[in-house]
Amino acid sequence: MAINTAPNRVVQWATGNIGTKSLRELIEHPTLSLVGVYVHSRQKAGADAGELCGIGPIGVMATSNIDDVIALGPDCVVYMPAALDVDEVCRLLAAGINIVTTRGEFHHPDSMDPELRTAVEAACRTGQASIHSTGSSPGFSTEALPLVVTSIQRRLDKLTIDEYADLSSRNSPELLFGIMGFGQAPAEFNDARLEHARTSFGPSMQQTADALGLTLDSIEAGGEIGVATKDVEIAAGTIKKGSVAAQRISANGMRNGKPLITFRANWYCTNDFDADWDLLSTGWRITVEGDAPLQIDIKFPIALEDMAATTPGYTANRAVNAVPYVCAAPAGIRTTADLPQIIARLG
């Protein structure tokens, strides 16, 4: 795949936590040229892109109108909204605009909703454009790393991806207590959390298995919780004694009746809980059981108080680095296995 050496003209779509980091990196990238910003808030429309990410004006103004984005004729949109809008995506693709996104709907075409896949592939054909989902997790941890560590195997018995996140310094009450279920009574912690693991990480695991020629039969969810042994104060509020303080939820890619690829999220708000889990600090552990066994620990060497400022880059940066590769790819829904190894251009 030939990568265009001319600067790719790029639009940042949405400026939330991850999008703001992406916007700054696009502005400062040596071979990308930011030509526009799409925002959902009317208050942000008309604002300078540089001021939206804290680096001062650069002369590129934000818009809340998709027609303005299409009129710019960019090579790529870095698409990072909180929710997928299929009509938006299809309009961009049909207009010949490639998309790199941190949305998770496009990791594995064969497991996508059939109507969504049909609409998106038709738009890709019309515009001769491509779309690619990536990020840190799923993405880097569930695709890029596994494809590297299995490259020295000739037999794979099992691949386990453990993700660890100490959330004690995350000042997001709605996320932790409302969405993730921390602080709830154990009986209230329901199957929705298990379904989150299956739907969020399953397609990425299926893509990796397909790339290895080991198609999965199904994705099954599982999990367990740890309850607080005492009242604990965290940045988001109070975890009461006896309430959910830790959760370990997993998506298991089954082949021939047993797990072949497992993604297991070990998320916790304190170490004072009643389960005996082997926890790393925030990061990943990749365990390969095969004819060349491996175990690799990847830790984030960041103080807890610096996590909120640093971690958006783990998701945003891979999307930014993928732009030239997606622009050069054939039209369609492109996976990590379809693209060359993504190499960052740092200077």
Domain contains 146: no
Are 326 and 213 members of one domain?
no
For β-strands 32-38 and 294-299, DSSP reports them as unpaired
Q: Is 259 a member of any domain?
A: yes
Give the rounded distance of the alpha carbon of 312 from its chain centre: 10
**123 and 225 co-located in one domain:** no
Regarding whether 264 and 173 lie in a shared domain, the answer is yes
For residues 41 and 94, state if they share a domain.
yes
Position 125 in a domain: yes
Measured distance CA(194)–CA(182) in Å, rounded: 14
Question: Within this chain, do residues 261 and 212 fall inside the same structural domain, yes or no?
Answer: yes
Number of domains in the chain: 2
Q: 14: left (phi > 0), else alpha (psi -120 to 50), else beta?
A: left
Q: What is the reported pLDDT for 6?
A: 73
The reply to whether 245 falls in a domain is yes
Cα separation, 212 vs 281, whole angstroms: 30
Residue 26 lies in a domain: yes
State residue 2's pLDDT score: 61
Same-domain check for residues 171 and 230: yes
Given this model, what pLDDT does residue 258 score?
97
For residue 341, tell me if it sits in a domain.
no
Q: In terms of DSSP H, where are the helices of the chain?
A: 17-28, 49-52, 66-72, 86-94, 114-127, 145-149, 173, 191-211, 307-310, 312-328
Query: Containing domain of residue 217, as a range?
Result: 154-291
Does 185 lie in the same domain as 232? yes
Q: Are residues 107 and 186 in the same domain?
A: no
What are 54's two structure tokens?
Answer: 């804290």
My answer on whether 130 and 209 are in the same domain is: no
Instruction: For residues 24 and 126, state if they share a domain.
Output: yes
On whether the CB atoms of residues 32 and 320 are closer than 8 A, the answer is yes
Please list the rounded mean pLDDT of every run of 10 residues in the chain (347 residues).
Answer: 77 96 98 97 95 96 98 98 97 98 97 97 98 97 97 98 94 91 89 84 97 97 94 96 96 97 96 92 96 96 89 96 98 98 94
Q: How many helices (H) and strands (E) does the chain have?
A: 10, 15
- Check residue 190 and give its pLDDT: 75
Q: What is the pLDDT of residue 1?
A: 64
The answer to whether residues 227 and 287 belong to one domain is yes
- Phi, psi (rounded to 5 degrees) for 255: -145, 125
3-class DSSP state of 252: strand
Same domain as 158, residue 287 = yes
List the CATH number of the domain containing 323. Answer: 3.40.50.720
Examine residue 3 and state whether it is found in any structural domain, yes or no. no
Give bridge partners of residue 275 from the DSSP assignment. none
Residue 80 domain flag: yes
